[in-house]
Amino acid sequence: MEKVALSIEGKCMGMCPHEEIKMRERERLLHVLEMVPGTEKTRHPKASRPHMVKSFSRSAAGKQIQIEALRPPPTLLKTVRYLLCDVITTKKVPWHVVYDFITDRLLAVRQDMVVQNISKAESITILQPIVRFHAYAAYQLCEHSVANFDATLNNNHLQECLKRLLHFYDSYDYLINCDTNSACNQYLLETRPEFEALYLIFNLGNDEALRRSLSIPEKCKTNVVRNAIDMSRSFQNGNFVRLCRLMKDMPPLLAALAALHLTEVRRRAFRTMSVAYHSKNLNFPLKILKVLLLYGSDGELIQDCKHYEIKTDTDCVYFTKDGFNHQKNPVSPRRELFIDDKCLQANVQSIILGM
């Protein structure tokens, strides 16, 4: 007989269980974003109950599940929307502190989802904004030191949530062919292409991601998905000019995530051009190269050339076979002017919640 997965239905209707609120207030474990204004610097800060959100704690062996502390899917979705609509734009603390708070609370949301074994449709609805949040943070905090932002850990969260989301999409593939008029199917057809493209861009040039693209239903292969596939193949084939042209035309969040690959893209382009344009007498116009590789200023391009020991002046780049230092690692990721021009930060709520 086929085994049926047991499901548990949570009973907690608030974003944070009542017992946890009391415990964290008593033990002074409140986050500044959860305190009653004016009590933050007192000896015993007070919990602002409407702003309290269940924190993440690792499951201990033998620990019994407290149904009263589990939040059902509607409450989990309410929590996600609160975090990614209200908290994400707060100016009370620096944004990397906001990121840490939201990440911890989203981990608790994901934990409640797994324990309850909630439905695929509910899981998709909750995971989509979580994936967007980690993709947004990857770009927004890319210039911060590891003390403020662990990019590797954030990428792990993003990859894990993204793969789970794609797994749930695959479970609905049969709907694509047999029930095109259902509300659920229409919702999937509208939202799925963004995340299929996001997976390809996050794993740019990855063979596994490209193999997966072969199985994407035709109805989900929108222009955004096809362009993401083209970008990944261009990266593999070393067609960096085409890759940058496609990147610039992507929607804001996908373009921002793709921009994190630019340091490696530029490094490979410089390496290739050092051979292809090798000459002791000729040069390559700096302003043309700036446009081709999406640099925001002449200064940024000159700075990168200096990093790889490529000779430049105010107008030209001089490529030679021996001029490129192969031992140099890619420069650190940075915010890009063409991304900031897309007003990514100003539209954060609509971008992450898909509104």
Q: What is the 3-state secondary structure (H, E, C) of 156-182?
A: HHHHHHHHHHHHHHHHCHHHHHHCCCC
Task: Please give the structure tokens belonging to residue 95.
Answer: 């944004």
Query: Would you state the pLDDT for residue 2?
Result: 38
Residues forming beta bridges with residue 317, ordered by sequence position: 284, 312
Q: Is 240 exposed, middle or buried (0-12, 13-18, 19+ CB in 10 A)?
A: buried
pLDDT tens by residue, the chain, 355 residues:
334 455 688 889 999 999 999 999 999 999 999 999 999 989 999 999 999 999 998 875 556 678 888 999 999 999 999 999 999 999 999 999 999 999 999 999 999 999 998 988 899 999 999 999 999 999 999 999 999 999 999 999 999 999 999 999 998 765 555 555 566 667 777 899 999 999 999 999 999 999 999 999 898 999 999 999 999 999 999 999 999 999 999 999 999 999 999 999 999 999 999 999 998 888 999 999 999 999 999 999 999 999 999 999 999 999 999 889 999 999 999 999 999 888 776 788 889 988 6
Distance from CA of residue 295 to its chain's centroid?
22
State the Cα–Cα distance between residues 282 and 290, nearest whole angstrom. 18
Phi-psi region of 294 (alpha: psi -120 to 50; beta: other; left: phi over 0): left
Domain boundaries, the chain: 262-332
The pair phi, psi for residue 195, each rounded to 5°, is -80, -30
Give the Å distances, CA to CA, from 175 to 163, 172, 184, 217: 20, 6, 9, 11
Distance from CA of residue 147 to its chain's centroid?
19
Contacts of 342 (CB under 8 A, 6+ apart): 252, 255, 256
Tell me the torsion sign for CA atoms 349, 225, 119, 160.
Answer: negative
Task: Please give the structure tokens belonging to residue 259.
Answer: 């921009």
Residue for token pair 């609805």: 125
Do the beta carbons of residue 71 and residue 112 sit within 8 Å? yes
Do the beta carbons of residue 245 and residue 255 sit within 8 Å? no
Distance from CA of residue 119 to its chain's centroid?
24
Q: In this structure, how many other beta carbons lie within 10 angstroms of the beta carbon of residue 350?
A: 11
